Chains A and B, each alone.
Chain A
Amino acid sequence: MHIIENGNTAAALGVKLCRASVIAAYPITPQTPLTEKLSEYVERGDMKAEYIPVESEHSALAVCIAASSAGARVFTATSANGLLYMHEQVQWASGARLPIVMCVVNRAVGAPWNIWNDQQDSISQRDTGWIQIYCADHQQIIDAVIKAYWIAEKVSIPIMVCYDGYILSHTFMPFDLPDQKTVDAFLPPFKPDYALRPEEPANLNTVTLPDVRLDVRGELAHSYMEIRYLLQEELRTTLDVAADAEKRFAEIFGRQSDPFIESYRCDDADCVALGLGSLTYQLRVSVDALRKEGIKVGVMGLRFYRPFPDEAIAGALKGKKSVVVFEKALSYGYEGALTSDLKSALYEHLAGTGTLPSIQNFIAGIGGRDIRTDDLTKMFRAATHGRVSKEPLWIGLKL
């Protein structure tokens, strides 16, 4: 059934359909309406879950960590400085291998204070060991939440479902709301590998020494290094799990898409734009405009940012003359993080083949600066013949 709702409601409905049983969150714009919706569902009895109001984002994730350790399917959501305040627990959740799903409603981080959209918040959490999925519209938001629980629970790694604040969170558009039966067919009840039980007390995530040790049973137990290695190893294999999730989702829901890259008019394109989130949909309009001028361009929206689908990206970009990376965040002191990751993937897979494309990095929409489609098209057109600047160029900057 198609409904017209905003992106936050799409996320909330996804969480409800996934039967999350513990929700803990602290309100922050533009995430607030999402958690308000969930508290409404719980209050009205539409959702059998414990809604735990907390005094901070740090506590929100701490509650989720505890509940997930006890075997509950949990949910939280945040934005910007809330995510940064949570940062210590963000690292903890992945090291503890808990399949938590968290929506990050992308917003600029302070200082200065700004409540509008960019993606600096989630990009700054790139190296925390979480899986990161980016959404371009409401259908992708609700579908990503549902897939996220399946993937997270398969690999015991937490997932951030990221979507642009306001541009998606507060904008209304139609999307297909799946029924409970379909979601239940896709997502079985959560059966954790291990859940803390009062009858079998244990210390979880206790101090590890630099080297391995014998446990109480006399078995050789991991130390920190082994535990962290396994996180990395299983993050890499998550790419295969994500592909399985997509296949399974398509069979049950009848909606199919590439698990990693959503391509538009790329097959015969010489120049391809790459980005994360709703911006890649707006770029489709630029692609259409440039195609009318006879310029062969396309756009790729990256769905998975971590683990980074390097092989898929390099494969998709092989033979392209130039790549233009549009980002709403950057690694201050260098360039957009996605641009650096892309360069690394292309070096790994295409170096020596004589087919390395030129790469231009544009920074757009920082702190919610309106991104005019005409401006995007203009910058895109300028970069179709190759790099125009080594340093990233900021679109719409008024200096």
Chain B
Amino acid sequence: MGTRNYRRKTSHSEHGPGDGGRTGSWRVERPVLDQSLCIPCKRNKEACFICWLFCPEIVISRTIPPRVDLEYCKGCGICAEECPTKAITMVDEAKFSEEDKE
């Protein structure tokens, strides 16, 4: 099967998870959110969302609380690095049970 009928003549990628496949399995560490430190959670209103803005895989939602789509999160840790209140920590995947990994 080939790409003859693909709708573009160029290299083109739209935002959304999955452009690089199911990258959740690549993860060594998982981002875990402490809602007591997270700005939108504390104020209960739309604010900050630095994690959503910086996530290169677009797997963090712009919601209260922000949620991470673990099927595609590669565990890069940028969200934890950028969070101004250190509300996100990267935790070793081995600490989570098999069910959690799904």
Q: Do chains A and B touch in the complex (CB under 8 A)?
A: yes
Which residues of A are interface residues toward B (Cβ below 8 A)? 95-97, 156, 193-194, 200-208, 212-224, 226-227, 230-231, 234
CA distance A233 to B90 in the complex (A): 49
Could you list which residues of chain B lie within 8 angstroms of chain A, going by C-beta atoms? 1-3, 6-19, 21
A230 adjacent to B21 (CB under 8 Å): no
Contact (A206, B6) CB under 8 Å given A214-B21, A216-B19: no
Residue pair A97, B10 in contact (C-beta under 8 Å): yes
- In the complex the two chains form, what is the Cα distance from A234 to B14 in whole Å? 25
* B2 partner residues in chain A, CB cutoff 8 A: 212, 220, 226
Among B6, B19, B21, which residue has its beta carbon within 8 angstroms of that of A220?
B6
Contacts of A220 in B (CB 8 A): 1-3, 6
Specify which of B1, B2, B6, B15 lies most central, judged by the most chain A CB atoms within 10 Å of its CB: B6
14 contacts between A and B (CB under 8 A): A97-B10, A156-B9, A203-B13, A205-B12, A212-B3, A214-B21, A216-B14, A216-B15, A216-B19, A219-B6, A220-B2, A221-B6, A222-B9, A234-B9
Cβ of A200 and Cβ of B14 under 8 Å apart? yes
A219 to B14, CA, bound (A): 12
**Contact A215/B14 with A220-B3, A221-B3, A226-B3 known, Cβ cut-off 8 Å:** yes
Contacts of B3 in A (CB 8 A): 212, 220-223, 226
In the bound complex, do residue B19 and residue A215 qualify as a contact, i.e. CB atoms below 8 Å apart? yes
Docked pose: A203 CA to B10 CA in angstroms: 11
Partner of B16, one of A213, A216, A226, A231: A216
**CB-CB < 8 A to B7: which residues of A?**
219
| A227 in contact with B13 (CB, 8 Å) | no
Q: Find the residue from B15, B19, B21 having the highest chain A CB count within 10 A.
A: B19
Bound form: Cα–Cα A200–B8 in Å: 15
Residue of B nearest to A196 (CB): B12
Q: Are A230 and B9 in contact (CB under 8 A)?
A: yes
Known contacts A212-B3, A221-B6: A204-B19 contact under CB 8 Å: no
Contact B10 A202 (CB under 8 A): no
A96 to B7, CA, bound (A): 14
A234 to B19, CA, bound (A): 27
Give complex CA distance A95, B16 in Å.
Answer: 24
The answer, among B1, B6, B10, B18, for a CB contact under 8 Å with A216, is: B18
B contact residues around A95 at 8 Å (CB): 10
* Chain A residues whose CB sits within 8 angstroms of the CB of B6 once the complex forms: 219-222, 226
Q: How far apart are the CA atoms of A213 and B6 in the complex, in Å? A: 11
Q: How far, in angstroms, from A207 to B9 measured CA to CA in the complex?
A: 14
Among A222, A226, A230, find the residue whose CB has the most chain B CB atoms closer than 10 A. Answer: A222
Instruction: Check A206–B1 contact: CB distance below 8 A.
Output: no
Residue pair A215, B13 in contact (C-beta under 8 Å): yes
The residues of A that contact B15 with a CB separation of less than 8 Å are 201-203, 216
Which chain A residue has the least Cβ–Cβ distance from B18? Answer: A216
Check if B12 sits within 8 Å of A216, measured CB to CB. no
Q: A205: nearest residue on chain B (CB-CB)? A: B11
Query: Across chains A and B, which 7 residue pairs bring their CB atoms closest together, nearest first?
Result: A216-B16, A203-B13, A222-B3, A208-B11, A97-B9, A206-B13, A202-B14
Closest A residue to B17 by CB, please name it.
Answer: A216
Q: Which residue of B lies closest to A220 (CB)?
A: B3
**B12 CB to nearest chain A CB (Å):** 6
Q: Which residues from A are CB-within-8-Å of B18?
A: 214, 216, 218
Is the beta-carbon distance between A96 and B10 smaller than 8 angstroms? yes
Q: How far is the CA of A354 from the CA of B61 in the complex (A)?
A: 73
CB distance from B82 to the nearest CB of A (A): 20
Q: How far is the CB of A147 from chain B (nearest CB, A)?
A: 22
Kindly list chain A residues whose C-beta atoms are within 8 Å of the C-beta of B8: 194, 221-222
* A201 to B58 Cα, complex, angstroms: 12
Q: What are the residues of chain B within 8 A of A201 when measuring CB–CB?
A: 14-15
Q: How far is the CA of A219 from the CA of B3 in the complex (A)?
A: 9
